[in-house]
Amino acid sequence: MTALPRRALAALALAPLAARAQDLPWSETLRRARGQTVAWHAWAGDERTNAFIAWVAEQAAARFGITLRHVRLRDTAEAVQRVLAEISAGRRAGGAVDLVWINGPNFLSLKQAGLLRRFAERLPNFALVDTVGKPATVTDFTIPVEGYAAPWRMARLVFIADGRRVPQPPRDMAALLAWSQRNRGRFTHPGVRNFLGATFLKQALYELAPDRTVLSRPAGAAFDATVAPLWAWYDALRPNLWRQGRAFPETGPAMRNLLNDGELDIMLSFNPAEATVSVAAGLLPATVRTFVPAIGSIGNASFVAIPVNASAPDAAEVVADLLLSPEAQARAEDPRHLGAPTVLDLARLAPADRARFAAWPRGPEALPPDALGPALPEPHPSWMTRLTEAWERRVAA
């Protein structure tokens, strides 16, 4: 998901301060929300996620009388640009974006510019979120969320290999390079305008940077020296990629199709249950196996945010709270649906709600949660922005 262009940020700086959610009783929010239509602008590159959003829409209609419309995006920046254009045109209410799935540079841009409502802490189900054990639920790419967005699913970068052809998968970037030299064309990554492609570069940077502690701070004068080992490694890797690194799949599902068709041996996913879900759906062979780098892998939480000029802010809050309900979280974690780890602290749930989170069956294709290793925090958003721009210049050269 790409960041907002720098020329737009100057205009954003002129935006009004972010609005706080009204101090209304929740019962009044529910009353006002009934009959409203929420336009949820969300990435639509995965059909299982689209199906989950459709289920949420059914629940919103049945329980709260809310119409939820999924505005399907290829890139979150599309929604950000729309909010920017409306605010620049003086449209301070009645905007087209009521709810947006957002992370990283896009979240930082809107938060700094004061274009987001502060609402998350007032959601009744936010009290169930594991903000201590899962700190990514309140810190997005090192940026304190401060209630300007609500988490709704956890994610971890994993690698998936066809075990017939890769019985001993490479578990660090040096080993991946050596493997690619022996198995030319059998690995690739999405283009880095896709969040998964950008995360692959950030994961490699974690291993290759001379001082990884700088990644938690804005990318400044140290950028070139920090990324120099990454580009040396990538320049050696790229000729060994699928199609000699001259073309890249657009999305994770496109990469999964290449693995299923036998064109690739290794793919990437931001869902640790991807292999289980895909094998069950017939989208990957039963011989696939999940692995992670030895140092651990990047993890984060997905968030939803409400722009200050949303047309239906009350209903958007109700949908955000619905996403945090034990029923919705259990459905999202169920590998028959999404397989996305929950943001909730199960110890805080009532016994009946805790029972929704069964010990989901995991075949040999997936790793149990305790085998995923450490979750590496996302670098500051500026690293993603600058890596994306630098990669595109290098690939275009």
pLDDT in tens, 199-229: 999 999 999 999 999 999 999 999 999 999 9
What's the CA gap between 306 and 312, in Å, rounded? 9
Contact 392, 229 (CB under 8 A): no
pLDDT tens sequence across 161-185: 999 999 999 999 999 999 999 999 9
67-72 LR contacts (CB < 8 Å, sep 24+):
67/36, 67/37, 67/38, 68/37, 68/38, 68/40, 68/319, 69/37, 69/38, 69/39, 69/40, 70/40, 70/42, 70/44, 71/39, 71/40, 71/41, 71/42, 71/97, 72/42, 72/44
Structure tokens at 277: 């879900």
Tell which residue, 110, 97, 87, has the closest CA to residue 41: 97
Instruction: Work out the average pLDDT over 89-117.
Output: 95
| Mean per-residue pLDDT over the chain, rounded | 92
3-class DSSP assignment, residue 69: strand
Contact 116, 18 (CB under 8 A): yes
CA distances, 87 to each of 110, 184, 270, 331 (Å): 11, 49, 33, 36
Contact 12, 112 (CB under 8 A): yes
pTM, to two decimals: 0.89
Contact 348, 127 (CB under 8 A): yes
**6-154+300-362 CATH choice from 3.40.190.10, 2.40.128.130, 3.30.460.10, 3.40.1190.20:** 3.40.190.10
Decide if pLDDT at 264 tops 50: yes
Instruction: Work out the average pLDDT over 147-165.
Output: 97
Contact 100, 307 (CB under 8 A): yes
Structure tokens at 200: 């692959």
- The more confidently predicted of residues 11 and 54 is 54
Structure tokens at 86: 């409306």
- Model pLDDT, residue 363: 83
Per-residue pLDDT band for 76 (boundaries 50, 70, 90) equals very high
- Residue 114 falls in which region: left (phi positive, over 0), alpha (psi -120 to 50) or beta: left
Structure tokens at 265: 């041996």
Alpha helices in 34-76 (DSSP H): 47-64
What's the CA gap between 128 and 349, in Å, rounded? 7
Tell which residue, 384, 387, 339, has the closest CA to residue 365: 339
- Model pLDDT, residue 10: 42
Decide if pLDDT at 154 tops 90: yes
Indicate where the chain has its CATH 3.40.190.10 domain(s): 6-154+300-362, 156-299+375-396
Decide if pLDDT at 233 tops 80: yes
Instruction: Work out the average pLDDT over 98-102.
Output: 97
Decide if pLDDT at 309 tops 60: yes
Instruction: Work out the average pLDDT over 266-286.
Output: 94
- The more confidently predicted of residues 8 and 369 is 369
Instruction: Work out the average pLDDT over 61-87.
Output: 95
**374 burial level (CB within 10 Å; 0-12, 13-18, 19+):** exposed
What's the CA gap between 55 and 327, in Å, rounded? 11
Instruction: Work out the average pLDDT over 352-376.
Output: 87
Instruction: Work out the average pLDDT over 281-301.
Output: 96
156-299+375-396 classified as CATH 3.40.190.10: yes
Structure tokens at 359: 């010990």
pLDDT tens sequence across 12-58: 444 443 444 457 899 999 999 999 999 999 999 889 999 999 999 99
- Model pLDDT, residue 128: 98
CA distances, 169 to each of 95, 176, 187, 294 (Å): 48, 8, 12, 11
Alpha helices in the chain (DSSP H): 6-12, 26-33, 47-64, 77-88, 104-112, 173-182, 195-208, 223-237, 252-260, 274-280, 313-323, 326-333, 351-354, 381-396
